[in-house]
Structure 1
Amino acid sequence: MLSAKAKTQLGNFLFVAPYMFVFAWLLVWPLMSGMGLSLFKADLFGGATFVGLENYGRLLSDPVFLQAVGNTFLFVLLCVPPLAIIPLILALLLNRSTRVAAFFRGVFFSSSVLSVTIVTLIWRMVLIPDGGFVANILAVFGLPPIPFFSDPGIVMGSMAIITVWWCLGLPMMLYLSALQQVPQDIYEAAALDNSRWWTTLTRITLPSISRTVVLVVIMQCVLQFQLFGQPQLITQGGPNGASRPIVLFIFEVGFRRWDIGYAAAASQILFAIILLVTLGQYLLTRKRTGDA
């Protein structure tokens, strides 16, 4: 006969077992399979030859892959700071119990529900140099159109503009939720002390929502390292690979060149990059906030 404690533990295990099974099936098993596949030279038709770490060596000397890594890091640097700061400013401005604030919260969040296909179609009409919205405005002032998608120097910046507009909504709502959890009596005490708005912001508001700021930064890093849809639909990685991120490189290698083992190795490197960046970011911010 099982003891009461053993019965409780068995019940807890049975309760979480379905979730753990699905988690292992959908996440853990594909991850482990990808690690194993990266050690083989394999194609879509089932042929596989064990090559060890050869795929990783090829990647580290592949100029196309190294360019994709550089493009991805550039894109993350262009996107994450605005997606951490602009939604915070919007949340501070819209943290009001008024109909106007509620309306603008809905306006800024509305872009987040659009699919990547719709977003790229909208921004193609805005940014294309041949009859686009920006080009027409520049033409009014007698200025030439800007080649947003054909100039290697600004194409990733164009992708960043599109992505920031698209992704503003969720961080803003996270900040709003955090701001509404800050006790109002703290602000009342600050007002009685004639505290300036900057002092209130830096000494009360930001420290109170610091965990949410860390969450937003880490979440955006994870998401933006996985850039794929925008360059794939607008530029196909061009011009001259200037907008090809790591995920698009994996897609091209795996499903156009049929080199599945090579693509799996690239995906493992991407996983390692995301893991190291987010872990380092978390440890750094945790140390600064004194939680270590």
Structure 2
Amino acid sequence: MSTTETAVRPRAGASAPEPAARPRGNGLPAAGFLAPFLILYLAFIIGPGLYGLVMSFFDTSLVKPGLGSFAGLGNYAEALRSPDFWSGLWHTIWFTILTTPPLIILAFVFALLADRVKRGRWFFRLAFFLPYILPSAVVALIWIFLYTPELGLLDTGLTAIGITPPNWLGDPGAAMPSLAVTTIWWTLGFNFVLYLAGLQDIPRDLYEASAMDGAGPWQQIWRITVPMLGRTTTLVAVLQVIASLKVFDQMYIMTQGGPNFATRSALEFIYDEGFTNLRTGYAAAASILFFIVVLAVSAIWFGIVRRQQKEA
């Protein structure tokens, strides 16, 4: 045995040195900073949510004090049997189908164009994002003016070139696509910013190396940009689907669910039952059912995200 091995090897029966314990800081300052948020979150999110869950099992009404008589699962059964509930859910899904693909594709295209602009890049970023900061009421009033029959900008322009415009918000077949166009114009900026941030994280060396190998712009987009933005696209899709499922403001302001309930979303059905028909217990049960639908869709999308993270 060499002298070096003897010096390094510990004595028989001697225990290995224990790692130094990590110092534990005082968590009171962090808890103090988090306390206001937690109190407000419990008071305005968790508390009302739990109360709504309890209320869904009672015949609660806005005109009667207290929870009312116990209904058990009667409110849930009535909502599941209601054609109005299923109609509102279908209108919500149809709106999601109309808005999600354009909001993903157009946001990617515009972000790609804005990222390649050499001068005035700030202007294009501002122009695409500016509508997103407008309140829903302002956006609705702008597009109501654009859709006004005979006097609106769209009707005037189409009539000038010999095209008969439809009744944008008065025709059951055109009302939902019209609302979808309004929503796309309004919310495109958020997805645009997410894609723009993702594009800036792609190393420029990849484009330079591919250009030296003879790859053109389209090949660079399909072989570098699109794969590198896979996680960003998944995030945008998840957020957009959830946001589209929760549509309410622009529909309620622009069409009030019409014409002939063709644009009545699930949230508007819940609102009408709770605040127009004053059946808050029944509305709470319908909202729980709708929450389960949104939760299921979110779980599917998050499962896709986790699979992508494992494959990466």
TM-score (norm 2): 0.86
Deviation, 1:142, is 3.7
Superposed, 1:185-196 pairs within 5 Å as 185-196=205-216
Partner of 1:70: 90
1:201 matches 2:230: no
Aligned to 1:245: 265
Query: What are the Cα deviations for residues 219-264 of structure 1, in whole angstroms up to 9, with x where unaligned?
Result: 1111111111112111111111100001111111111111001111
Distance 1:105 1:56, change over 3 A: same
Q: Partner amino acid for 2:202?
A: V
- 2:172 aligned to which of 131, 149, 152: 152
Residue identity opposite 1:243 in structure 2: T
SS at match of 2:191: helix
Q: 1:144 offset after TM fit, Å?
A: 2.8
Corresponding residue number in structure 1 for 2:151: 131
Matched, 1:180 2:200: yes
Q: 2:206, 2:285 → 1: CA distance?
A: 52
Residue 54 to residue 101, structure 1, CA distance change in 2 (3 Å): same
C-alpha separation between the residues in 2 aligned to 1:234 and 1:22?
32
Alpha-carbon deviation of 1:137?
Answer: 2.0
Structure 2 residue runs of 5 or longer lacking an equivalent are 1-20
The reply on whether 1:107 has 2:127 as its aligned counterpart is yes
Q: Is the 8 A contact 1:64 1:241 kept in 2?
A: no
Q: Which residue of 1 aligns with 2:139?
A: 119
- Equivalent residue letter for 1:236: Q
Q: Give 1 or 2 for the bigger CA radius of gyration.
A: 2
- Mapping of residues 1-292 of structure 1, within 5 Å: 8=26, 16-45=34-63, 46-47=65-66, 48-96=68-116, 98-287=118-307, 290-291=310-311
Tell me how many residue pairs correspond in the alignment. 290
Q: 1:18 to 1:135 in 2, by over 3 A?
A: closer
2:120 counterpart SS class: helix
The alignment's C-alpha RMSD in Å is 2.2
Q: In the TM superposition, what is the alpha-carbon distance from 1:141 to its structure 2 partner?
A: 3.4
Q: Distance in 1 between matches of 2:154 and 2:25?
A: 68
Distance 1:75 1:53 in 2: 30
Over residues 57-100 of structure 1, what are the superposed CA-to-partner deviations in whole Å (9 max), with x where a residue is unaligned? 11111111111001000000000111111010000000036333
Q: CA deviation at 1:201?
A: 1.6
Task: Note closer, same or farther for the CA distance 1:113–1:12 as it changes in structure 2 (3 Å cut).
Answer: closer
Structure 1 counterpart of 2:206, one-letter code: I
TM-score between the two structures when normalised by the length of structure 1: 0.91
Q: Which runs of 5 or more structure 1 residues have no equivalent in the other structure?
A: none
